[in-house]
Amino acid sequence: MLTHGIAFDGSSIQGFRGIEDSDMVMRPVLETAFVDPFMAVPTLAVSCSVFEPNGTRFERDPRYIAEKAEAYLASSGIATTAYFGPELEFFIFDDVRFESTNRGAFYAVDSEEAMWNTGNGEKNLGYQVKNKGGYFPVPPIDTQQDIRTEMVKELMNAGIRVERHHHEVATAGQAEINFRFNTLTRTADTVMTYKYIIRNVARKYGKTVTFMPKPVFGDNGSGMHVHQSLFDGDTPLFFEQDRYGNMSDIALHYIAAFCITRLQFWPFQTQARILTSAWSRVMKRLSIWSSQKATAALPFVYRLRWSRRRPHASSSAHRTARPTRISRLQPC
């Protein structure tokens, strides 16, 4: 099994294969293995890499994509390693209901901590978490200390180095458990194991976990902030003493490229507002790039149209200039 892998049907996994070409092979990645704590019979859980029947890697295997990205970074000469440290946030609900049929649709979530349960008609001790008041109370307001602690213990038993856990900002049982950063592929493996363990511990308590970004209207959603860094061997490439924020040019270029890549998928007017505001702040605070280099770093330049308005009659001798709107986009 370790040498040749295990055959499986790729056509049954959405996006992998058509039914006419469904034979695929997965090989266990031993460093991801852990004893599954949720099985009655001792069971080893392990992540796998996906291969073609002829032994070559499958191009759409997420682990292979991550490994190729790491290899490309090393070959670029920019850095030897990139580290990623995500902060996963999630909600622990007591009840989840949803339906979508030809007669109607609805969804409903519930938690004993939720602010909307202050008048639920049953026995109530009044310790509900207020909207945006969940960062981070002690018990009895925080009812999930023990469940998060058990989650942490099982994560550690699976080989994950946990750094902290706490209640998050939102009402209705929002939580966060952080683990130590690692390389791209190993961090992605850890996230998969993390979600598996978190969901199953919650189920033991008769609860359910969701990592969806916005399950509760009118309160904070769940994000996954990802701390990132580049190293050359043991040397951190984002650090440079006595610069703004002790940040090197590589760190600033990294941020700029990352932001521009994300902005490509947003509407132009949104891009305009964000870039106009962000770029003015960057130039004001840093003042380290020449205007020529700054312009070259952007895919386009935003041109502001200014207009004048008349103040009240009592001060008609004065005129005030203000920006009214972004008039057009000019390519560089």
What are the phi and psi torsion angles at 115 (to 5°)?
A: -60, -30
pLDDT at 161 (0 to 100): 96
pLDDT at 263 (0 to 100): 58
The residue whose two tokens read 């940040």 is 247
Nearest C-alpha neighbor of 210 from the set 307, 325, 96, 92: 92
pTM beyond 0.85: the answer is no
Positions in the chain whose pLDDT score sits under 50: 288-332
pLDDT at 3 (0 to 100): 86
For residue 9, give the amino acid letter. D
**N-term to C-term CA, the chain:** 56
pLDDT at 288 (0 to 100): 46
318: burial class by Cβ within 10 Å (0-12, 13-18, 19+)? exposed
Long-range own/partner contacts, residues 233-238 (CB < 8 A, 24 or more apart): 233/80, 237/78, 237/79
What are the phi and psi torsion angles at 112 (to 5°)?
A: -60, -20
Distance CA(68)–CA(73), nearest Å, equals: 9
